[in-house]
Homo-oligomer: A and B are copies of this chain.
Amino acid sequence: MQLKELSERTGVSPASIKFYLREGLLPAGRTVHATRAEYSEHHANRLELIQALRRVVGLNIAQIGSLLKMADGGAPRLELLAAIQRTVLGLDEVGTEHGELRTPAGDAVVRFRNWPDVPSDARNALNAQLARMESLGVPVTAELLDAYSQAVDAIAATNISATTAPDDVNQLIMTAAVGMHLHGQLVLKLLALAHASHAIRRYEKSI
């Protein structure tokens, strides 16, 4: 199909498609003639992926570009998934400029929970977050961290067993990124509700 049809089928304006082509998010079509290019299903899927990552997950163009480049570069699945996690959960956004890294409390969590003791982005992000919270005067006690980690452990256990990785790379990014984001948001919303509920309870009692 041609650019215009691609646009109509995906609901993305021709101008935006051209923009994505320029930015390298969308591979160029097969040039049939000097003034005719042919786009395939692959392009349509890719376009939908881009839209989902932009509008649902909220990634910016550069982030999407780097994920897609990895995928197209044939990076190993685990690496790709790690990159997705890093990007979607903003694990590399937190300033890692902590000269004074005291005993990282995150590592204690890992040991206590008996999680595999492997350095990872998530772990760095956790330590960074804890440092950040400390520096902002929001204390995180060991008990709290313990309760949190126990809870997320249970979530992750339930979560991981319900996952099947698709074969197509577009599909993989789609499910992983969108799923990760939506599940994160879901937990946040549940947490808000739980928090509100407990607050109401407490408030009722104190009347």
Q: Which A residues are within 8 Å of any B CB, using their own CB? A: 52, 56, 78, 81-82, 85, 89, 91, 106, 109-110, 113, 115-116, 118, 120-123, 125-126, 129-130, 132-133, 136, 138, 140-141, 143-144, 147-160, 162, 175, 178-179, 182-204
Q: A129-B186, A136-B182, A159-B144 are in contact. Are A149 and B116 (CB under 8 A)?
A: no
Instruction: Say how far A180's CB is from chain B's closest CB, in angstroms.
Output: 8
Q: A148-B186, A155-B148 are in contact. Are A120 and B78 (CB under 8 A)?
A: no
**Bound-complex Cα distance A175 to B120 (A):** 30
Q: A188-B184, A202-B160 are in contact. Are A110 and B193 (CB under 8 A)?
A: yes
Complex A-B: 24 CB contacts under 8 Å: A52-B136, A82-B196, A109-B190, A109-B193, A113-B194, A116-B204, A123-B193, A129-B185, A133-B182, A136-B182, A138-B178, A144-B159, A147-B154, A147-B158, A148-B190, A149-B190, A150-B154, A151-B151, A151-B152, A152-B187, A152-B191, A160-B198, A187-B188, A188-B188
Instruction: Say how far A198's CB is from chain B's closest CB, in angstroms.
Output: 4
A153 contacts which of B109, B118, B194, B202 (Cβ < 8 Å)? Answer: B194
Q: A148-B187, A151-B151 are in contact. Are A193 and B126 (CB under 8 A)?
A: yes
B192 and A122 contact, CB distance less than 8 A: yes
Instruction: Say how far A191's CB is from chain B's closest CB, in angstroms.
Output: 5
| Chain B residues within an 8 Å CB radius of A125 | 189, 192-193
A115 contacts which of B56, B110, B194 (Cβ < 8 Å)? Answer: B194
